[in-house]
């Protein structure tokens, strides 16, 4: 029986040949693209015979129901109108049919990749790294031959076929980085350095800009905290790229000579390339004659160039300008809508609404988005969007992005089902640490008893109280069998008290409530429903800030829907009494032994392992600020945050200032929004 994953490695090789095949010849990416589409069609036919033709029709039917498909059809139709009624209909119409054929191939890739297993997708970073290495070695071999056997030193720039490798490496390297960064292998880090050096050595200015931009964007979005020794990996990443930039630039200087190097790097027109601004101005002038539908796909070369001297009359060397000129406002607008909606349905939705990552595919979605960003950046100065070999790149990337997102969602759904089927004695356990809380303890317990969901247990941990708290606890225990208690003879701290409650918990979900805070009636019901739906490991809500008399004096209303590890380092909007965790996913993670901010460290430890925190945009609780609450001044709070990042979370010293700046800015903004000073609410 033929398995769907039998050709997975071959498909992946075709995928990356599509992305970087132009390094070896402009026909290679188109051939690889269509060979992959053809194999998907053949495999799909065989697969249909095994499981029934209905499976194929179901996939196609699902695709036909997607708004993206119809927007794509409208876009292609507008391109066709531009082509058949443009300035050179006989030529443009032919080019438009090539665009349609590539779009169809992209749809086949999308349907084909969706059938890949997670094991196949996980091979993607390794193959990307090896292919990037092959391309780099090819570039160095070509340059060596060109330098010593073709021309004398410094007479001409490197051939364009080599210069464009800078752009192609910027597109493929985000995938390769997923293989290198979590590992300590000196060989793979050496491969990374060689590939990065090649990007600078090739001398393609658009590619170098795209590579630098890719490096920065990737570093910003990569979940560093999820890998071991992430400080060392980040330092290596920064150091490797700086080293590669210096060595690659020096190598390019030696290869092309001082005169050519200075002309391309520091000359008056170095920023935009020779004659590009003249081409853009000419394109804009011609666009005004055909503003609605443009002049036709790839019709730029058939314009009237009488009296105009341009460095190139083949295409505008800017994909945005080209799309606007050749397809008009309608074409550019429809393609922009398609791109934005596609990114929204994949990267944005994955970031905001998918809480679990059981198959570790989230980083591949991120890398694909960064790769698209690199393509767009390079395309602002590079070749024609409607060249077949350059058009298959975004088509393939969008197909891969959509397909992996589908697999990601499917895997998350399966994981949620397995969690839901796991037996638990009760739904939710509430852990309440109590230290001398007699003044507010009854209100806190009552807010639990008034919840709309009643399938709960309350574990009150008396952490060495010297007042009448234990008498109050005993009174409620006798009246309600769902209330239990644990007693510490001496105070061990809020973190140890919560850990004791966690260890004794029987519920799938665990919520935390300080003995001086209160909940609103629907708190547990809303939070459990949201976590069941999304599979979130951790969730929080909006909440009021109240004084001793329960008067509302402010509010905490985070704007984000999802908190990541990096977002939490910038600002902790998770109030302990608003938090709920899923024990199935948190597993053995516990509160650290700190007197202050142990909850912040606990949330960070949950999120750094790939989980996310869902923020429910409803006000479901109240945090009490009273006379016993200790408020740190701003400088003490900042010093405390630095110690926590450095000692507890091992954040690299190199980037602590980055997070500290955001901590201060978010703290000020949080104080303004809440209406009350809450800089150190963890100190309660």
3-state secondary structure of 153: coil
**How many helices (H) and strands (E) in the chain?**
27, 10
- Note the pLDDT tens digit of each residue in 14-54: 999 999 888 888 889 999 999 999 888 887 665 555 555 66
Question: For residue 322, which of 379, 405, 360, 377 has the smallest C-alpha distance?
Answer: 379
Cβ burial of 231 (10 Å; 0-12, 13-18, 19+) is middle
Average pLDDT over residues 617-636: 76
The least confident of 197-206, 618-627, 660-669 is 660-669
DSSP H helices in 257-361 = 258-265, 276-287, 319-343, 349-353
pLDDT of residue 217: 93
Distance separating alpha carbons of residues 611 and 356, to the nearest angstrom: 6
Q: What sign does the dihedral 423-425-429-433 (CA atoms) show?
A: negative
pTM of this structure: 0.81
Please tell me the distance from the alpha carbon of residue 553 to that of residue 562, in angstroms, as a whole number.
26
pLDDT at 682 over 50: no
CB 257 within 8 A of CB 154: yes
Kindly report, residue by residue over 211-233, the tens digit of the pLDDT.
999 999 998 888 887 777 777 88
- Rounded to an integer, what distance in angstroms lies between the CA atom of residue 300 and that of residue 202? 28
Q: Where are the domains of the chain?
A: 8-416, 425-626
**Stretch 234-256: mean pLDDT:** 91
**pLDDT by residue (tens digit) across 138-182?**
999 988 877 776 655 445 567 777 888 999 999 999 999 999 998
Please tell me the distance from the alpha carbon of residue 342 to that of residue 368, in angstroms, as a whole number. Answer: 12
Percent of the chain at pLDDT above 70? 87
pLDDT digits (tens, 9 = 90+) for 531-554: 888 888 899 999 999 988 888 888
Per-residue pLDDT, 150: 64
- Output the CA angle 44-45-47, nearest 5 degrees: 60
pLDDT at res. 68: 86
| 34-42, long-range: CB < 8 A, 24+ apart | 34/105, 36/11, 36/109, 36/112, 37/104, 37/105, 37/108, 37/109, 37/112, 39/7, 39/10, 39/11, 39/14, 39/112, 40/11, 40/108, 40/109, 40/111, 40/112, 41/108
Q: Which residues contact 441 (CB under 8 A, 6 or more apart)?
A: 434, 469, 472, 473, 515, 516
* CATH class of the domain whose range is 425-626: alpha beta
**Using alpha carbons only, how large is the chain's radius of gyration in Å?**
30
Q: Are 294 and 287 in contact (CB under 8 A)?
A: yes
Tens digits of residue pLDDT in 279-302: 899 999 999 999 999 999 988 988
Q: Does 650 score more than 70 pLDDT?
A: yes
Residue 680 banded pLDDT, cuts 50, 70, 90: very low
3-state secondary structure at position 430: strand
pLDDT value, residue 48: 57
Indicate the pLDDT class of residue 2, thresholds 50, 70 and 90: very low
Q: How confident is the model over 341-395, as pLDDT tens digits? A: 999 989 888 776 666 676 678 889 999 999 999 999 999 887 789 988 899 999 9
């Amino acid at each position: 029986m033929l398995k769907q994953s039998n050709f997975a490695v071959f498909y992946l090789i075709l995928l990356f040949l599509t992305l970087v095949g132009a390094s070896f010849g402009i026909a290679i990416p188109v051939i690889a693209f269509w060979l992959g589409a053809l194999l998907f069609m053949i495999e799909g036919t065989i697969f249909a015979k095994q499981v029934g033709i209905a499976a194929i029709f179901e996939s196609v039917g699902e695709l036909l129901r997607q708004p993206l498909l119809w927007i794509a059809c409208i876009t292609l139709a507008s391109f066709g109108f531009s082509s058949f009624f443009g300035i050179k209909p006989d030529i443009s119409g032919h080019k438009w049919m090539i665009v349609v054929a590539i779009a169809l191939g992209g749809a086949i890739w999308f349907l084909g990749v969706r059938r890949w297993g997670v094991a196949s997708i996980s091979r993607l970073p390794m193959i990307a790294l090896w292919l990037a290495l092959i391309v780099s070695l090819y570039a160095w071999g070509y340059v060596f031959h060109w330098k010593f056997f073709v021309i004398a030193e410094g007479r001409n720039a490197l051939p364009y076929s080599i210069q464009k490798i800078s752009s192609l490496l910027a597109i493929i390297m985000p995938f390769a980085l997923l293989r290198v960064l979590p590992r300590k292998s000196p060989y793979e880090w050496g491969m990374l350095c060689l590939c990065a050096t090649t990007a600078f050595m090739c001398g393609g200015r658009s590619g170098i800009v795209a590579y630098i931009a890719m490096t920065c964007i990737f570093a910003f979005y990569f979940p560093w905290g999820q890998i071991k020794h992430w400080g060392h990996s980040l330092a290596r990443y920064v150091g490797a790229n700086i080293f590669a930039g210096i060595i690659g630039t020096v190598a390019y200087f030696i290869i092309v000579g001082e005169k050519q190097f200075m002309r391309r790097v520091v000359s008056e027109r170095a920023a935009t390339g020779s004659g590009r601004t003249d081409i853009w101005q000419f394109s804009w002038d011609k666009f005004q004659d055909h503003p609605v539908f443009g002049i036709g796909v790839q019709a730029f070369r058939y314009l009237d160039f009488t009296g105009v001297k341009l460095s190139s009359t083949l295409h505008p060397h800017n994909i945005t300008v080209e799309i606007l000129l050749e397809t008009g406002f309608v074409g550019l607008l429809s393609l922009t809508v398609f791109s934005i909606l596609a990114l929204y349905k994949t990267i944005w939705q994955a970031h905001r609404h998918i809480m679990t990552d059981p198959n570790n595919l989230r980083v591949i979605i991120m890398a694909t988005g960064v790769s698209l960003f690199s393509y767009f950046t390079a395309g602002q100065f590079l070749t024609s969007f409607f060249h077949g070999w350059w058009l298959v790149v975004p088509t393939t990337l969008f197909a891969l992005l959509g397909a992996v997102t589908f697999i990601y969602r499917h895997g998350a759904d399966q994981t949620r089902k397995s969690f839901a089927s796991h037996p638990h004695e009760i739904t939710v356990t509430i852990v309440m640490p109590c230290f001398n809380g007699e003044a507010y303890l009854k209100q806190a317990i009552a807010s639990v008893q008034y919840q709309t969901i009643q399938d709960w247990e309350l574990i009150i941990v008396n952490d060495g109280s010297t007042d009448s708290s234990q008498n109050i606890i005993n009174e409620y225990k006798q009246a309600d069998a769902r209330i239990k208690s644990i007693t510490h003879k001496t105070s061990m701290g809020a973190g140890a008290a919560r850990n004791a409650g966690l260890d004794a918990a029987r519920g799938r979900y665990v919520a935390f409530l300080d003995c001086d805070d209160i909940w609103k009636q629907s708190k547990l019901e809303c939070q459990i429903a949201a976590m069941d739906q999304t599979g979130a490991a951790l969730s929080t809500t909006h909440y009021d800030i109240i004084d001793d008399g329960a008067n509302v004096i402010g509010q905490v209303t985070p704007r984000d829907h999802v908190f990541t590890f990096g977002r939490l380092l910038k600002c902790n909007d998770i109030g302990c009494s608003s938090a709920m965790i899923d024990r199935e996913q948190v597993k053995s993670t516990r509160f650290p032994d700190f007197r202050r901010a142990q909850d912040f460290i606990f949330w960070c430890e949950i999120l750094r392992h790939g989980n996310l925190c869902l923020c429910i945009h409803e006000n479901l609780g109240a945090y009490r600020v009273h006379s016993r609450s200790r408020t740190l001044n701003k400088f003490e709070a900042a010093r405390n945050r630095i110690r926590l990042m450095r000692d507890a979370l091992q954040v690299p010293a190199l980037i602590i200032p980055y997070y500290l700046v955001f901590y201060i800015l978010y703290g000020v903004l949080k104080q303004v929004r809440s209406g009350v000073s809450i800089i150190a609410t963890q100190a309660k």
